[in-house]
Amino acid sequence: MIQITDKKTCCGCTACKAICPTQAIEMVPDALGFLYPKVDTNKCIDCGLCEKVCSFHAGYATAENLPEPQVFAARHRSMEEIAKSRSGAVFATLSDWVLRQGGVIYGAGYIDHFRVAHKRATTPEERNEFRGSKYVQSDLNSTFKQVQSDLKKGSMVLFSGTPCQTSGLKSFLTWTRTDTSNLFVADIVCHGVPAPHIWRDYLAYIEKLEGQKAVAVDFRDKSQLGWAAHKESFTFADGHKRVEQTYTYTFYEHIMFRHSCSNCHFCNFTRPSDITLADFWGWQKVNPQLNADDKGISLVLVNTAKGQAWFDHIKDGLTYIPTDKATCLQPNLSRPSAQHPLREQFEKDYINKGFQYILRRYADKGWRYKLLRLKQKSKTAIRLAKRIFIK
């Protein structure tokens, strides 16, 4: 039976829980809210399926992958769709096609006041919640079983998520001999997933400052600041919007990621999905006009023959330009994000000293950040002064 002795070896995909024939496995949160499998030994019959299904331990299937992925820079033809998506709204195009075939969409949405979780959608209105990046690990709940049930009923299904989630789903469906001919899988290039409890506490902190509950959140708001900007926003019932950068700052510090993210097996071009989506950093090399308005541009990797057929169905809804691997290369297509050296201390401090302390010590609120900014500013001032005097 599965036992997690090193947290770096479990991405929390839930495949082991889904496959267990005696429902002996529960997903239990750690101090930061990341879920890990826990076996009830009284229910376990030692069948070993939970270990076999774990693609994060045993490696993931790549037999269906094309020898090389096809690479595109792409964006939706509708600016309205682009405005509501993180990058070029290719996910909206892919899911619209599946919905038109009478299919079902699974993606990351919200439950219980902006807790991030995977949900099922059968209409564009329900699917719309999945648009946009949520920088928190999504709770998969019983999604894998629901996908299996939809496939068994003969429905077309699109599952979208991080590559460790798509890989876990595919492994679960293979081990349960489920017919996957109607399954379409899309993943994202993934930097890492932040801790659910930090997001929960941060939202509560912002709401306390405002004295009211948020009615909408945007983890990376591009409405005022553009696609390349890194700011989160909160909208309140009275209509005003608060723009912040503390959460985004901490996200890019890699200090609140799941442990498995620094041991990620999916930071490469051999993807566990039919199609991969990402921001197209370096789009200027493809065409300097492509994203000159800074509204957002997607990288699309077509990884399988099924992905090729899928892309052919949707491509008329996109403006797209073929390109290559060298042009679209970005950090998380070549190596996992390095874990912050204080990651362990961060967790201990959160447990022992609480969220407010974390905010001051590790985010952009405390004296450490102010000192760092001061150092950076003085370095820039010295550089400028040197240039002036040398001239």
Contact residues for ligand SF4, defined by CB under 6 A: 1-2, 10-16, 20-22, 24-25, 37, 39, 44-50, 53-54, 56-57, 162-164, 168, 190, 192-193, 258, 260-261, 264, 266
Alpha helical stretches, state H, 68-218: 79-83, 90-100, 124-127, 143-152, 163-175, 196-210
Phi and psi at residue 322, to the nearest 5° = -65, 145
289 by Cβ neighbours in 10 Å (0-12 / 13-18 / 19+) ranks as exposed
- Contact partner at residue 2 from ligand FAD, ligand SF4, none, CB < 5 to 8 Å by partner kind: ligand SF4
Pick the closer one to ligand FAD by CB: 1 or 185.
Answer: 185
Please check whether residue 355 is in contact with residue 201, taking contact to mean a CB–CB distance below 8 angstroms. yes
Rounded least distance, CB 1 to ligand FAD, Å: 27
CA distance 232 to 238: 18
Phi and psi at residue 200, to the nearest 5° = -55, -45
The answer to whether 193 contacts ligand FAD (rule: CB under 6 A) is: yes
Find the part of the chain contacting ligand FAD (CB under 6 A) among 90-98, 206-214, 234-242, 351-359: 90-98
The answer to whether 86 contacts ligand FAD (rule: CB under 6 A) is: yes
The answer to whether 71 contacts ligand FAD (rule: CB under 6 A) is: no
Among 174, 187, 146, 193, smallest CA distance to 54 is for 174
Please check whether residue 278 is in contact with residue 298, taking contact to mean a CB–CB distance below 8 angstroms. yes
CA distance 304 to 67: 9
Among 49, 144, 173, 117, smallest CA distance to 39 is for 49
The answer to whether 85 contacts ligand FAD (rule: CB under 6 A) is: yes
The answer to whether 297 contacts ligand FAD (rule: CB under 6 A) is: no
Pick the closer one to ligand FAD by CB: 39 or 93.
Answer: 93
- Contact partner at residue 261 from ligand SF4, ligand FAD, none, CB < 5 to 8 Å by partner kind: ligand SF4
Pick the closer one to ligand SF4 by CB: 14 or 180.
Answer: 14
What one-letter code names the amino acid at 112? D
Rounded least distance, CB 167 to ligand SF4, Å: 8
**Where does this chain bind ligand FAD (CB under 6 A)?**
85-92, 107-108, 116, 130-136, 138, 160-162, 186, 188-191, 193, 277-279, 298, 330, 332
